[in-house]
Amino acid sequence: MVVGNGRRGWGWACGGLVVLALFLALAFSPVQAVRAASLSATNCLDDGSAGSLRTVIAGATAGDTITFAQDCNPITLASVLTIGKTLTIDGTGHTVTISGGSTTRLFFVNGNATAVMNGLTLTGGYVNDGTYGGGIYNGGTLTVTNSTLSGNFANNSGGGGGILNDGPLTLVNTTISGNSASDGAGIFNRAGGTVNVTNSTLSGNTGGSGGSGGGIYNTAGGKVTVTNSTLSGNSTSNLGGNGSGGRGGGIYNGGTLTVTNSIVSGNYAPYSGGGIHNSAGGTVTLRNSTISGNSGPYEGRGIYNLGTVNATNTLIVNNGTSPYGEVSPNGLSGTSTHNLTGPFTLATPLQNNGGPTQTLAIPTPATPTATDAYQQGDLATCNAITPGGTPQGVYDQRGAPAWWAAHAALGHTNPAP
């Protein structure tokens, strides 16, 4: 019947409209975002139990933050902790030490992961047989803040006692100290890796026999930027003869290195570059920095340069005497503006003068003597640092005018700023 067919058609039409409405509602309704969770490690064990850091990491989803319910001093790991997702591990509010017990690496951040570590002490990491990365092996993206990496070890010709880096690495307000490896006892940065160090200290890291880069080893193709930081007391050791290794007590650079508002002081290399060794093909840029008090028996106690060194408003002084001078053999081979180099003694040691790291305090000018460059009429040296007596924006980590140290080093008695 015509009426029946009309009703049947209307029913199908109504059903179709309902289905269409449901489809459109689902298709265009806002999708509820999955929120990152804050998870808690509730014990200090590494036995796979509920609440252990290892178990919490395994159960976390991308974007989660792991905190700690109590002090853990230490969590001693049975094996490496692997991070394969976006994850934050935050020790804020508690004393959290994670130890490898001198038997295992602490963390591996794999290539697709983004990790943040804050407020942690990472110690006792260990790798052997030429393996790299005693404390951390970063293959992804890693940020370490307000933390300490100390006493980690890459044994038997390994590198990166503290950190081996293959990706972007950022260190802020962090101390890298007392780590050991053949090369890059503090940090080893491979080709393609990028390291940014800010408001941090690298001290007392020790390279093995014939190794290079007590504080940092930057491979050709790598990029390292150091800002408002101090590298002090790092060293390498020799195999026993001139040319047998032991280069770059503070930093060994084969890639691109930029040091700004920082101090490289008191480092030692038995062959070349007590402060910095810059290899052929390497580029070093120094701005508003001090390279002072570094040592070694052979070449370039301040900087050993086979590549390009650009320097602006920088002091390269008091690195001891050698037949090759403060910067050798190629000198400041790039752009050089308003620098002071030579055997001038800064009056104060590296110490806590305020600010995030230890600094060389600005000494009070002494009365000039007949042997001072100023007394000898070398006004050009003074004006190169402060043309017309006007500060050139040379500051240390504290914001103090480091340019005045050049005057004091020369014994100038110009009025203090």
Choose one of 351, 371, 386: the last residue of a domain. Answer: 351
Q: What is the mean pLDDT of residues 102-122?
A: 97
- Residue 344: per-residue pLDDT: 60
Higher local confidence (pLDDT), 31 or 261: 261
Mean pLDDT of 138-157: 96
Give the mean pLDDT of the chain: 81
Whether 212 maps to a domain, the answer reads: yes
Residues 273 and 371 in one domain: no
Shared domain for 245 and 390, answered yes or no, is no
| Nearest by Cα to 268 from 340, 215, 225, 310 | 215
What integer is the mean pLDDT of 259-275?
92
Choice among 46-60, 302-316, 384-398 with the minimum mean pLDDT: 384-398
Residue type, 326: E
Phi, psi torsion values for 54, nearest 5 degrees? -60, -45
Choose one of 307, 329, 351: the last residue of a domain. 351
Q: Do the Cβ atoms of 290 and 265 come closer than 8 Å?
A: yes
CA angle 251, 268, 181 (to 5 degrees): 60
Instruction: Note the pTM of the prediction, 2 decimals.
Output: 0.83
Please tell me whether residues 205 and 263 are part of one structural domain. yes
Give the pLDDT confidence score for residue 395 in this predicted structure: 60
Q: Residue 144: its pLDDT value, please?
A: 98
For residue 253, pLDDT over 70 is answered with yes
Task: Check residue 110 and give its pLDDT.
Answer: 97
For the chain, what percent of residues have pLDDT higher than 90?
57
The boundaries of the domain holding residue 379 are 361-410
Query: So what's the pLDDT on residue 229?
Result: 94
Q: What is the pLDDT of residue 366?
A: 43
Q: Which of 351, 371, 392 is the last residue of a domain?
A: 351
Q: Rounded to whole angstroms, how far apart are CA atoms 219 and 272?
A: 17
pLDDT of residue 345: 56
Kindly report the backbone phi and psi dihedral angles of residue 9, in degrees, each rounded to the nearest multiple of 5, phi listed first.
-65, -40
pLDDT band per the 50, 70, 90 thresholds, residue 14:
very low
Helix (H), strand (E) at residue 382: helix 379-385
Give the confidence band of 378 by pLDDT, cuts at 50, 70, 90: very low
The reply to whether 201 and 290 lie within a common domain is yes
| pLDDT tens for each residue of 36-91 | 789 999 999 999 999 999 999 999 999 999 999 999 999 999 999 999 999 999 99
Q: Domain total for the chain?
A: 2
The answer, yes or no, to whether residue 351 has pLDDT greater than 60, is yes
* Local confidence band at 411 (pLDDT 50, 70, 90 cut-offs): very low
pLDDT on residue 299: 80
157 and 259 share a domain?
A: yes
pLDDT greater than 50 at residue 292: yes
Q: What is the pLDDT of residue 341?
A: 75
DSSP secondary-structure letter at 395? B
